[in-house]
Amino acid sequence: MSLPQGTPPATDVTPDRGTSIREAARWLTTAFAAVGTVLVAGLQLGSLGGLGTEEPWRLPLALGAVFVALLGTGWMIVRAAHVLITPDLTWTDLFVNHEIPAIRRRGSAQPLLSAGRSHLSYDALLHLLKEASSTEAVPFEGTAAIRRKLESARARAAHTPTDTEAQERVAALEHAVTLCLTRANAWQSQQLYRALIRTLLRTGVLTAACLVVYAWAANPPPEQSPQVKQPVPVKVHLRATADKLPGTALGKQCHRRTITGVAVGGRLDEPVVAVPATEDCAAARFTVTPELGVAVPATKP
């Protein structure tokens, strides 16, 4: 609906918040898509080929986490696109989607609750338009009421083209209609943006949880060396210097030698070894740490 010449545009009175909200949604979409791309690109999917041997459930869990993370990112982009491409409200939209349901809700309400209350109070948008225009020349009384007034004013202006008052009345009503539509579209964009933020938070938490699950499933703990459950003959190749041997009771003369003994505890990579006395080494029981040397089973355990 166009305004007559000389009528100030509605955006001079009520800023078009819908445009700024759509710009924010566009920025959020771009940022979320970029973050999702970086995170997915950083996933080392090639390492998944080594899963499934010892713990076969890790592979489907990791793949499922990646799939859900991608699905959440895609859903977020779809929701943001919905904010960007939602068409502006028209006067018919206000009447069909807001005023008619408000009239029905008022009719179904309890008589004591609905007595003296306008049907506009049964719809958040209509109530907002009513409150926002309460101090203006043409207060909002409903879409049907303003439409009837506008049609009547236009008919009067058409019959009396020289009637300045009739022309001003038409201009005022058209200006009121444009103001209402501007406010209604700003309200719609705000509602869509709030829904987008809620979706962003939920999807972000879900995506982060999926990435944590993927990182845990794709990186199993390193396999530990088996425990020594029975005595195992070993050869201990000592590589420690003499100053590190006193703690083992082997004696300083026993450094950098290969001695035989029996693993009686610990793990095979760091067994507790008992060695008999030799010409240069005293009998001792000690743990073969990487600093001291390495124990090699003399026979297969």
Residue spans of the domains in the chain: they are 10-218, 232-297
pLDDT digits (tens, 9 = 90+) for 199-208: 888 888 888 8
- Comparing 45-49, 163-167, 287-291, the range with the smallest average pLDDT is 45-49
pLDDT at position 173 is 92
Average pLDDT over residues 154-166: 88
pLDDT digits (tens, 9 = 90+) for 185-201: 889 888 888 888 888 88
- For a pLDDT cut of 90, what percent of the chain falls above it? 11
pLDDT at position 17 is 59
Its pTM surpasses 0.85: no
Local confidence band at 184 (pLDDT 50, 70, 90 cut-offs): very high
140 φ, ψ (degrees, to nearest 5): -80, 120
Local confidence band at 301 (pLDDT 50, 70, 90 cut-offs): very low
pLDDT digits (tens, 9 = 90+) for 233-286: 888 888 776 666 655 667 667 777 788 888 888 887 888 888 888 877 888 888
